[in-house]
Structure 1
């Protein structure tokens, strides 16, 4: 196994390093140590070998986000973590094209994932990156796209050069920002793989106040932020779109001016990785002022239980989804709801559905007794609104010794209905 290079980029940003990297076989963790030795014995400097093997490993990991493009790209550990998945980036780019824009200014382009998607749609792209090494990597990543050019510099300096905070962007321009949300100078613990995450939007680079100042000029803009951004920090004059891929919540994008859809304040967008049609839930109302449904409590915990997609939950659209499916909430503070019958395509993708088989009062003793009486040997525990650690609880309630015979799997949902804690035995649909 190769260890990460101290500098995973500089040694491969040379003709010799680039040639070595592209000559390597597909990455194999078990073969990496032997390959490392052979390359050093062949006369390659240790730092070049380490960097090339690190890039090879990162390229393999990046296939999930970038597909076949990953095989010709350069990465850093933290850059890959923050990079936009290609299908998501393509959706960003399509929004610019739909708005009739012809140039995207990517302020803080990182490794260039969003810039690649925009250029692939024929949009002219100016990609700006403050870190000189990352800018060099982005230049290599965008080399196949003549529509794109990379500039080394900060978003703030670019804004001053083109007076973006004064007159706004020229006609046809749209801005894309993905502020850096990790502190490269923070102390790292031994398990960390990159800079620590920042939570104060004014500590982002560039800060959220810079973003809102740009938006106030009327410039069409999209801003990618972490999906946990508190609702109270979201400006009033934008569309906030939470995006998930196969149930994995990946981002919230704030769309301003011509890139915001008329009448849309909140949106939850689900992108299936299999290429199926995206599913959306939108609302024109602000946070906390949408659909209001009376919860039905334990008596309503029957039929089909719905677990909304994380994008639906973070956008505050759980009640709207329940209302659209003629379903009822169990508790106004819990993101579960029930319907009489399952719902079909495409609405079913907005939530996971479970047939409710039985409901019982919850405590560890009662759940353990049910597990023993039912002969359960494998248990999936889902929970919401209760202080439960599923991994620990599973160890407490399952038999200590494996019994012979077939495994009996079950799924339970532990939740709170008012002041009462219950568990429901459910069957995934």
Structure 2
């Protein structure tokens, strides 16, 4: 959103228009736009208000009911921390006794909101002027939050009285393209990590696809998934990492939160170090049950740890499917009963499914080049039944497992 559109929206008439808009509907947007313009409302203001209405609708998945009173940009929303995840961030600062948190690269203010909700004073710093203005609007109900338009790395942390830092470096270019190299973050990750020389209590949000080999030895790295979708990784230092250096996976689903770390026997050893290669689980023949570890467990290199809890082994080396003969409940993996398995062949698979009247097919895959949608077309199924298949490798051979969810 350009600054002119933002200025108009923040005027009394612009804000009143935005607040009167009905819940956003793609189908009704054009009709609504035409109607407002016919009544003499400025077209640019109409466009800005409808854009915000659309972004608010999308933001509800991250901010819930709070989204209805917030302002967004497309890029800012994409990078914004979900409020539920931000709450877990904030609890680390509260447990550490933080008195003033500098939220560097605060964006739209999501993490500052979560910190403020726990009564923790926040200095939210944003280099982009328009984004800083939006953060000011979004944090207007939190008196302990202050927004400042400034370069985060030029802030004098000691002079401000900051005793903890949360940093969220930008991981997209101006055109919206994702940035995967930590050296290309804005500011670069190395510059952000250098802040712990001034303030040991440092937390940094990074992309979940980061190469674990690049992680510093003194961090606790945590990968977070929400309802099975890996949304971020966080690096925690000093008093913000009471677990000590290592790796963990945090899984959030509704009101539930579950954390997986290395076992006591491994924690504190080189194998549990943030930058260490993940431990390997043994490979086993297909058992009666299949388990698919959550993406955060896989990213954190904790598949072997998950296998220990399930008394399971890998179906194939370097593929994150686990198998066991004993079912178990775990929040860290999705379980399936194995009904059948055989070497992959299009002809055999088609015949197998048609024999059983399967018309609706769920296809899961790992470690194979088969494209699910292309395979679905090739199978040409038309029955009334449904089935789930897993395409993967068994002992190095392309194979099919027919499964049903537990």
**Normalising TM by the smaller chain, what interval?**
over 0.9
Task: After TM superposition, give the deviation of residue 212 of structure 1 in Å.
Answer: 1.7
Q: What is aligned with 2:389?
A: 412
Give yes or no for contact 2:213–2:277 (8 Å, CA) kept in 1: no
- The 2-side partners of 1:359 and 1:31 are apart by 49
Does residue 1:427 correspond to 2:396, yes or no?
no
Task: After TM superposition, give the deviation of residue 289 of structure 1 in Å.
Answer: 5.2
Which residue among 251, 276, 280 is the counterpart of 2:259?
280
Task: After TM superposition, give the deviation of residue 412 of structure 1 in Å.
Answer: 0.7
Does residue 1:392 correspond to 2:374, yes or no?
yes
Q: What is aligned with 1:190?
A: none
Deviations 1:113-139 (A, max 9, x none): 100010010000110011111100100
Aligned residue for 2:316, secondary structure, equals: coil
- The 2-side partners of 1:235 and 1:260 are apart by 13
- The 2-side partners of 1:375 and 1:31 are apart by 41
- The 1-side partners of 2:277 and 2:36 are apart by 63
Cα pair distance change 1:260/1:103, threshold 3 Å: same
Range that drifts further, 5-14 or 114-123: 5-14
* Equivalent pairs, count: 397
Range that drifts further, 308-317 or 199-208: 199-208
Q: What is aligned with 1:255?
A: 236
- The 2-side partners of 1:337 and 1:177 are apart by 36
- The 1-side partners of 2:245 and 2:182 are apart by 23
CA RMSD of aligned residues (A): 1.9
- The 2-side partners of 1:240 and 1:17 are apart by 43
Q: What is aligned with 1:66?
A: 63
Which residue among 300, 317, 329 is the counterpart of 2:314?
329
Give yes or no for contact 1:223–1:253 (8 Å, CA) kept in 2: yes
Aligned residue for 2:331, secondary structure, equals: helix
Cα pair distance change 1:99/1:162, threshold 3 Å: closer
Give ranges in structure 2 of 5+ residues lacking alignment: none
Cα pair distance change 1:11/1:363, threshold 3 Å: farther
Aligned residue for 1:97, secondary structure, equals: helix
- The 2-side partners of 1:84 and 1:290 are apart by 27
Give yes or no for contact 1:5–1:51 (8 Å, CA) kept in 2: no
Task: After TM superposition, give the deviation of residue 254 of structure 1 in Å.
Answer: 0.5
Q: What is aligned with 2:212?
A: 231
Does residue 1:182 correspond to 2:165, yes or no?
no
Aligned residue for 1:196, secondary structure, equals: coil
Give yes or no for contact 1:291–1:323 (8 Å, CA) kept in 2: no
Aligned residue for 2:364, secondary structure, equals: strand
Deviations 1:221-248 (A, max 9, x none): 1111111111122111101000001101
- The 2-side partners of 1:94 and 1:126 are apart by 17
1:145-156 correspondence runs (5 A)? 145-156=142-153
Give yes or no for contact 2:249–2:261 (8 Å, CA) kept in 1: yes
1:134-149 correspondence runs (5 A)? 134-149=131-146
Task: After TM superposition, give the deviation of residue 380 of structure 1 in Å.
Answer: 1.0
Q: What is aligned with 1:269?
A: 250
Deviations 1:295-318 (A, max 9, x none): 12xxx2121100000000000100
Aligned residue for 2:297, secondary structure, equals: helix
Does residue 1:222 correspond to 2:203, yes or no?
yes
Give yes or no for contact 2:286–2:315 (8 Å, CA) kept in 1: yes
Give yes or no for contact 1:334–1:384 (8 Å, CA) kept in 2: yes
Task: After TM superposition, give the deviation of residue 5 of structure 1 in Å.
Answer: 8.6
- The 2-side partners of 1:215 and 1:5 are apart by 35
1:163-182 correspondence runs (5 A)? 170=161, 173-182=163-172
Does residue 1:317 correspond to 2:297, yes or no?
no
- The 2-side partners of 1:237 and 1:336 are apart by 30
